[in-house]
Amino acid sequence: MKRYDIFLLDADNTLFDFNMAESNALEIVFQHYGFSYNNDICLKYREINNPLWEEFAKGNITKDEIQTLRFTTLFKEIGVKYNVKDFNNMYLIELGKGSFLIDGALEICKEISAYNKIYIVTNGIMITQKTRIEHSVLRHYISDFFVSETVGYQKPNPLYFDYVFLHIPQIEKDKIILVGDSITADIAGGNNAGIDTCWFNNTGNINNTEIIPTYEIKRLNELKKFINKEKKME
C-alpha cells in the first residue's frame, strides 16, 4: 500500500457535515426574518443550489451569480419577497458558524497530522470557509487551507492546483493524495493535477462518469492505511 506525506482534504461533506450546517443556517435566517421554514424548503434550496455549484466547477458561472440566483429562484418558488443580498449575507455568516464534523474527521486529522501534513482544498466561499475552519477543532491539525475564491481558480482546474503546489514547501507530487466526496471537482481535479486521488463515498453513490479515482473509501478512518509513519512531524 502506497503511503503519502501530504494529504489534500476537501472541506464540505468530507471533513465538515455541510448538509447539517446548511440546514441549520437556513432555518436560523428564515426564522430571523419571520418566514416559515421546513425541510421541504431545504430540499428545494438544494435542488437549486447544488447544480449551480456544478456549473461553477465547470467555469460557467461565478460565485456572485450563485449567491444571487439561488435565493432569487427559491423565493420565487416558495412565494417569499425579501432583499436577496441581505438574506444571503446573513446566511453566509450563519453557515460559517456550522463547524459540524463528519464522523471520524477529528480522529483521522489527529492521526495524519502526527506524521504528515494536511491542507484543505475547497471551492467554497471565503468568508464561510475561513470562519468554519478557524473556529473548528480541526484547525490545530491543518497546516493551511486554499479557498478557490482567493486562489482565482476552482477545482478541477489544474491552475488551482498549480497555486496550491506553489504554496506547499518541499512538495513531491508522488507523495500527495487528494481526498474528497466530489467526483467532478475533487477526483477530476486531482487527476488533472497528476496526483493520486481518493473518493470519499460514504453515501454509496455510483460513479457513472469516466473519472476514475485511485482509491475509494466509505469511512474516513480508512485513510490510516495511507499515512507515512516514517515521516513524523516535529
Domain boundaries, the chain: 6-16+100-226, 18-96
> Residue 51 has what pLDDT?
94
Q: What value does the mean pLDDT take over residues 34-50?
A: 96
Of 5, 10, 181, 186, the active-site residue reads 10
Q: Round the CA-based radius of gyration of the chain to a whole number and report it.
A: 18
> Residue 54 has what pLDDT?
87
Q: What value does the mean pLDDT take over residues 37-46?
A: 96
Mention the CATH class of domain 18-96.
Answer: mainly alpha
Set of cell numbers at residue 202: 460514504
Helix-then-strand count for the chain, H and E? 9, 6
The model's pLDDT over 108-157, given as tens digits with 9 standing for 90+, comes to 999 999 999 999 999 988 999 999 999 999 999 999 999 999 999 999 99
Known catalytic membership, residue 10? yes
* Banded model confidence at residue 230, pLDDT cuts 50, 70, 90: confident
Q: What value does the mean pLDDT take over residues 6-14?
A: 97
User: What integer best gives the mean pLDDT of the chain?
Assistant: 95
C-alpha distances in angstroms, 53 versus 69, 123, 125, 154, 184?
11, 9, 11, 11, 11
> Residue 124 has what pLDDT?
85
Provide CB contacts within 8 A for 147, sequence distance 6+: 122, 123, 124, 125, 126, 129, 130
> Residue 207 has what pLDDT?
97
| CATH code for residues 6-16+100-226 | 3.40.50.1000
